[in-house]
Amino acid sequence: MHPVTTIHYLVLSAALLLIGTVGVLTRRNIVVVLMSIELILNAVNINLVAFSHALNNINGQVFAVFVITDAVAEAAVGLGILIALFRNKETVRADEIDLLKW
Amino acid sequence: MLMDTVLFYAFAALVLGGGIFTITCRNAVHSAISLIVSLLGVAGLYLLLQAEFLFAVQIILYVGGIMLLFLFVIMLVNLDREAKERQFSRRWVVALAAVAVVGAEIAYFLYRGRDAFHIAEAGVAVPVAAALGNTEMLADSLFSEYLLPFEIASLLLLVAVVGAVVMAKRRI
């Protein structure tokens, strides 16, 4: 059995990123789309922390902290928008929200 | 070393399995539970990578905070009708093709650059600041080198809090 190296973490993070991208692009339910965005941000964090460990440099983890902060802000505002949208349009389906189309 | 490998694959299975269930589940609550599993797997990976502070932050913030937010919103908006309908958008073939192309690209880069990472691996053998704890090192870096970004992040959180309240309020 091979020891776990940085490349293992990179492959895992790429796979998680692709799963999240598929979720963002294909799901109709906006709540699940927001969850997929969380998956993508976590994939980025795995990458940052893996390099931080490999290079023995703490800065990667500092950036991961900032990414987590962004994820929290994004989730709070996104879910607030979702509630306002549901109140006005009575839908959470991504392809029915076309207020900017004509 | 063997233990590390086994744990890595266990956590990787949690992460990827949770992720796949998150985007395929019909019921949004099931998606949220799968997302919790996936995020816990990521937290385990942080522990394997000796990022103990991020491990704690991940569990408290994601599993405690964000998931609670998601579950509240799922209960607030009525999703019973949505669960019986088509879950994926009509253009899912195009989306899958695009993601496949990006995946091939990433795989190619990782394959071509796989030797570059072994150089980085050599640095692991000497843990320089083992005397300091992980949290201590992180705080040192955060409060000296990254003080301005740290303050900007706090401002961002303030804006997000105000924005979320304004957005979700019926009448301001």
Domain boundaries of chain B, sorted by first residue: 1-87, 88-122, 133-172
Position with higher pLDDT, A3 vs B108: B108
Q: Is A55:B45 a contact under the CB 8 Å cutoff? A: no
Whether residue A89 lies within 8 A of chain B, CB to CB, comes out as no
Residue B127, SS3 per DSSP: coil
Position with higher pLDDT, A22 vs A93: A22
Q: Is the pLDDT at B172 greater than 80, yes or no?
A: no
| Residue B61 DSSP symbol | I
Mean of pLDDT over chain B: 85
- Give residue B63's pLDDT: 85
- Give residue A1's pLDDT: 62
Residue A27, SS3 per DSSP: strand
- Give residue A38's pLDDT: 92
Q: Is B60:B68 a contact under the CB 8 Å cutoff? A: no
Give me the CATH topology for the region B1-87: Four Helix Bundle (Hemerythrin (Met), subunit A) (1.20.120)
Pick from B22, B152, B157: which is nearest to A76 by CA? B157
- Give residue B34's pLDDT: 93
**C-beta atoms of B42 and A50 within 8 A:** no
Percent of chain B whose predicted confidence (pLDDT) is above 70: 89
Domain annotation for chain A: domains and CATH numbers = 6-96 (1.10.287.3510)
Pick from B7, B151, B28: which is nearest to A28 by CA? B28
Give per-residue pLDDT as tens, B145-156: 999 999 999 999
Calculate mean pLDDT across residues B138-142: 89
Give per-residue pLDDT as tens, B11-55: 999 999 999 999 998 888 899 999 999 999 999 999 999 889 999
Q: Which residues 6+ apart lie within 8 Å of A16 measured at CB?
A: A39, A40, A42, A43, A46, B15, B16, B19, B38
Give per-residue pLDDT as tens, A31-60: 899 999 999 999 999 999 999 988 888 888
The amino acid sitting at A36 is: S
Q: Is the pLDDT at B91 greater than 90, yes or no?
A: no
- Burial degree of A55 (CB within 10 A; 0-12, 13-18, 19+): middle
- Give residue B157's pLDDT: 93
Contacts B50 to A, Cβ<8 Å: 53
**Chain A residues 21-60 within an 8 A CB cutoff of chain B:** 21-23, 25-29, 31-32, 34-36, 38-39, 42, 45-46, 49-56, 58-59
Which of B15, B70, B159 is opposite residue A31, by nearest beta carbon?
B70
**Chain A residues 69-88 within an 8 A CB cutoff of chain B:** 69-77, 79-84, 86-87
Percent of chain B whose predicted confidence (pLDDT) is above 90: 45
Q: Is the pLDDT at A65 greater than 90, yes or no?
A: yes
- Give residue B119's pLDDT: 55
Contacts B127 to A, Cβ<8 Å: 56
Q: Is the pLDDT at A93 greater than 50, yes or no?
A: yes
Pick from B119, B13, B7, B28: which is nearest to A51 by CA? B119
- Burial degree of A31 (CB within 10 A; 0-12, 13-18, 19+): buried
Position with higher pLDDT, B119 vs B13: B13
B77-86, B95-104, B163-172: least confidently modelled range: B77-86
- Give residue B126's pLDDT: 47
Q: Is the pLDDT at B128 greater than 70, yes or no?
A: no
